[in-house]
Structure 1
Amino acid sequence: MTARIALFLSLAAFSSLSQAQQIDGSIPPRLVTDRIIVQYHPVPTYGNAIAFIKQGITSGAFGVAAGKQKDILDLGSSVNINDATILANSLTIDPQVDYAEPDYIMQAMQIPTDARFSEQWNLKNPVSGINAPAAWNITTGSEEIIVGVVDTGVIKHSDLVTNVVDGYDFISHPWIANDGDGRDNHAKDPGDAITQIGACGSVNGVPIPSRPMDSSWHGTHVAGTIAALSNNNKGVSGVAWTTKVMPLRALGRCGGYSSDIVDAMLWAAGFEVYGMPRNPKPVKVLNLSLGGSAVTCPRIYQNAFNKLAEANVSVVVAAGNENRNAALATPANCDNVITVAAIDREGNRSWYSNFGAKVDIAAPGGETMNLANGILSTSNNGTTSPNLDNYEYYQGTSMATPHVAGVLALIYAVNKSLTAARANQIILDTARAFPAGTCNKSLCGAGLLDAGAAVLKAQQSK
């Protein structure tokens, strides 16, 4: 049986399921998908090759016969993850298929606000800040170090623009992309506003999301925390303000697919991605301020993280904002990543932050019940499409994650010979002890991120 026939037979069987079986109204948006990832064996067996010849598909656009490593199977409508998993498992009977799994939909890990304030406690507060000034006494970064930001893209902001290098838009679904097409070389964020109830679909007749939402400018906020310009008499300071960021657009309206996110990561690191030009400026660090739900790390993620680790690329991911065990959030529950929890201005675990053994370290994520206690960074005042530069306080593990990515950029700036494993370990080894409060090592990782101590240890490790 060829992969083409197996896919069609599985789809036919799946389509006979009742609506109640396909859609469970109790399942939140992150537990549905309408796509399956089908990964092929890299080298067909002799038996498979004969099957190709007999069935006349030694060339074409499908599967390994065309030199492809994977296909994305569109189900035509959203189903819950359990049913998608059943379908995916049925595809593995085909000997061409290495594995198949749901194309999980990831969502930005932040809770935005619309207020502004000028003080960045997250960089210098002696209790909860990251001790950035001590690091800046050694380095403010390097233009040779590029941090890839897998997110909603980055808009042109006067306090960030000269630190942004060309990236790519990896969103394959035109409606999600909201820019008139699928993948292209324009990584600018056109906005991710949801203008009507039910735009993201529904489960059991309940619209997702339940209300319209303004554009988040999430990727621009994250990028500003990493590399906003400094010493320019305006705005905010980034953690590594002479480092470059590369926008890798994989989140749009209603989120983004794991397959697009993985392609963005691998392409950014210099790997070959089917149908894509090679990235001429590979990144050294990847920031993933995004996530979704999965009880185990999806294989497409773990395989990518293993490749990135071997290529000495550090990957930093958000622990998640559901106030639950991070083992239930992905890619937070994957290996070969640094998983980051959020703390508040007092050094306690932020009320929303995920926790547990999968968390590696904690960094400022803020709490905006008092706006001044959020994380201030670059943004835009457009409600749907880009308008004027501004600065916003956000909260979330999305905001904590780029602090760690920025410190890794500083580490590599002072010691380019470090392996990713060594650089990642320095982050953990130099963490400050938690103050008395709601964080400890079993909940929030090794400690609080300390930029000054980390950069000093990296410099001494030459």
Structure 2
Amino acid sequence: MMTARIALFLLLAGFNSFSVAQQIDGTIPPRQVTDRIIVQYHPTPTYGNAIAFIKQGITSGAFGVAAGKQKDILDLGSSVNIDDAVILANSLNIDPQVDFAEPDYIMQVMQIPTDSRFNEQWNLKNTVSGINAPAAWNITTGDEEIIVGVVDTGVIRHTDLVTNLVDGYDFVSHPWIANDGDGRDNHPKDPGDGITQIGACGSVNGVPIPSRPMDSSWHGTHVAGTIAALSNNNKGVSGVAWKTKIMPLRALGRCGGYSSDIVDAMLWAAGFEVFGLPKNPKPVKVLNLSLGGSASTCPRIYQNVFDKLAAANISVVVAAGNENRDASLATPANCDNVITVAAIDREGNRSWYSNYGEKVDIAAPGGETLNLANGILSTSNSGTTSPNLDNYEYYQGTSMATPHAAGVLALMYAVNKLLTAAQANQIILNTVRAFPTGTCNTSLCGAGLLDAGAAVLKAEQSK
């Protein structure tokens, strides 16, 4: 019987099969497997073919035209590499009644989201400067067990983000900076960080900071949306890691935030004890710090924590800074055990504002909003001071570049939960795309351009 011949062929050929659930091993590209062969028969075998068929002893009518069939689907019992499936199929072509045999290729929906403004998200799909997100989405769209902590201004419960939020904490200890009537509490919602009075943040050399009133930024909401905005929901934008959860860790408010609050936010998010606070029951796997300040060396308070987080296998991604200067002068960009991210524009050049230099590890889309559509579109709010209506805004900055890397790390951990932080960070750097001809190079902008598809595939192959 034909099934017996297939089983014998598998045994003699020494097929190394594996289950469909495994999907790939270290050498097989994702989904390039099958567990079935299509056998298409001659609709009207010639007399010679029929005689040869009968001589093989296959007379039961279970297969082929004798049973009134045009084709059979042969189940191999387990998945094999497509190349091996082709060899097996070719061996069946010698049967006189077989017209052709070939692998039953597995087709998949290409994961291009239905979000109404996805076409504006050049940062995810542009072949020159985008992060190649669709290639990653064909492998995974994330895992709700992977949590990314966003140390920022807090997060608004935006309708295009809300179901991807988990409980976080407000670490802003100064009541005026907090702008919510108190200091630390368990409500990390962003109340707004707008400034209505010139000089409210003090002055440097007599120049008020800021020099003019500023609307609320909704910065943390924008960052969170880039990482994990809801996708395939026919509205708004797509996040890098659709199913990943965001933990809002509010450490910035009016005029910024203190390093001590930022450090406590990171430690608490990672599951460490922070004096006076309940322990976090759902530790994060990735921390996003789209923030920074000036310091010629990494402050010890930061470096001690980053070392502790690295030992706990937590990846930390930080912004290179927006001062158009060497990143060694910006912190925490100049610290060790972090991934420091510079910003590129839509053409793959260094964004005019992005910090650069030896401390930069990688570049990702940060945009330039001189032409608004060349910025990074993400979730925001229409309120000028306090929260109002959900909306979407184009921003620019290394703050916008950083969450792309955080989202890719979340996808990598989704496919390989055994990755250490050191391994994940190295994969990010080893799978970059080369910079196009322009103002970025490996001396200024890190190892190359972030490539989500290549990084996620490598993470899966590293199981």
Amino acid at match of 2:315: S
Q: Which residue of 2 aligns with 1:391?
A: 392
Pairwise CA RMSD of aligned residues? 0.9
Name 1:61's counterpart in structure 2. Answer: none
Q: Deviation at 1:208? A: 1.4
Shift of 1:198: 1.1
What's the counterpart of residue 171 of structure 1? 172
Q: Identify the residue that residue 378 of structure 2 maps to in structure 1.
A: 377
Partner of 1:447: 448
Task: Give 3-state SS (helix, strand or coil) of 1:190's partner.
Answer: coil
Q: How far is the alpha carbon of 1:207 from its aligned partner? A: 1.8
Instruction: Report Cα offsets for 1:136-162 as digits up to 9, x if no partner.
Output: 000000000000000000001000000
Q: Secondary structure at the match of 1:287?
A: strand
Q: Distance between the aligned counterparts of 1:295 and 1:307, measured in 2?
A: 22
Match of 2:160 in 1: 159
| CA-to-aligned-CA distance 1:92-112 (integer Å, 9 cap, x gap) | xxxxxxxxxxxxxxxxxxxxx
Corresponding letter in the other structure for 1:359: V
Distance in 2 (alpha carbons) for counterparts of 1:178 and 1:336 = 32
Aligned partners of 1:117 and 1:269: how far apart in 2?
A: 32
Q: Is the 8 A contact 1:117 1:393 kept in 2?
A: no
* Alignment partners' CA distance in 1, 2:440 and 2:199: 38
How much has 1:372 moved relative to structure 2?
Answer: 0.6
Q: Distance in 1 between matches of 2:228 and 2:203?
A: 38
- Check whether the contact 1:165–1:246 (CA below 8 A) recurs between aligned residues: yes
What is the aligned partner in structure 2 of residue 363 from structure 1? 364
Residue matched to 2:17: none
Match of 2:444, SS state, is helix
* Alignment-derived partner of residue 313 in structure 1: 314
Shift of 1:448: 0.1
Equivalent runs, 1:28-427 vs 2, <5 Å: 119-427=120-428
Radius of gyration: which is bigger? 2
3-state DSSP class of the match of 1:441? Answer: coil
SS at match of 1:443: coil
User: Where does structure 2 lack aligned partners over 5 or more consecutive residues?
Assistant: 1-116
> Aligned-pair distance for 1:206?
2.8
Q: TM-score, normalised by structure 2?
A: 0.74
Q: Distance in 2 between matches of 1:206 and 1:324?
A: 21
CA distance in 2, matches of 1:179, 1:452: 41
- 2:45 aligns to what? none
In 1, distance between residues paired with 2:341 and 2:198? Answer: 32
Give identity over the alignment, percent: 90
Amino acid corresponding to residue 144 of structure 2 in structure 1: E
- Residues 191, 217 of structure 1: 8 Å contact kept: yes
How far off its partner does 1:201 sit?
1.5
8 Å CA contact 1:118–1:376 kept in 2: the answer is: no
CA–CA distance in structure 2, aligned partners of residues 150 and 440 of structure 1:
29
Name the CA distance, whole Å, in 2 between partners of 1:211 and 1:271: 40
2:124 counterpart SS class: helix
Query: In structure 1, how many angstroms separate the alpha carbons of the residues matched to 2:426 and 2:132?
Result: 18
Task: State whether residues 154 and 190 of structure 2, in contact with CA within 8 Å, keep that contact through their aligned partners in structure 1.
Answer: yes
- Normalization by structure 1: what TM-score? 0.74
Contact (CA 8 Å) 2:118, 2:238: kept in 1 or not?
A: no
1: CA distance, partners of 2:134 / 2:119: 17
1:390 partner letter: N
Q: What are structure 1's unaligned runs of at least 5 residues?
A: 1-115
Counterpart amino acid of residue 148 in structure 2: V
Aligned length: 347
- The question of whether the paired residues in 2 share the 8 Å contact of 1:117 and 1:372 is answered with no
CA distance in 2, matches of 1:190, 1:274: 25
**How many Å separate the matches in 1 of 2:248 and 2:329?**
27
Query: Runs of 4 or more off by more than 3 Å in structure 1?
Result: none
Contact 2:118–2:237 (CA under 8 A) maintained in structure 1: no
Please give the per-residue CA displacement for 1:183-238, whole angstroms capped at 9, x wherever unaligned: 00000000000001011122344321110000000000000000000000000000
3-state DSSP class of the match of 2:272?
coil
**1:86 paired residue number:** none
User: 1:265 Cα deviation (Å)?
Assistant: 0.3
**Secondary structure at 1:219's aligned position in 2?**
helix
Q: Per chain length, whose mean CA-contact separation is higher, i.e. which structure has more relative contact order (CA < 8 Å, sep 6+)?
A: 1
Q: Report the 3-state secondary structure (helix = DSSP H, G, I; strand = E; otherwise coil) of the residue aligned with 2:378.
A: strand
**1:59 aligned partner:** none
Q: Distance in 2 between matches of 1:437 and 1:175?
A: 44
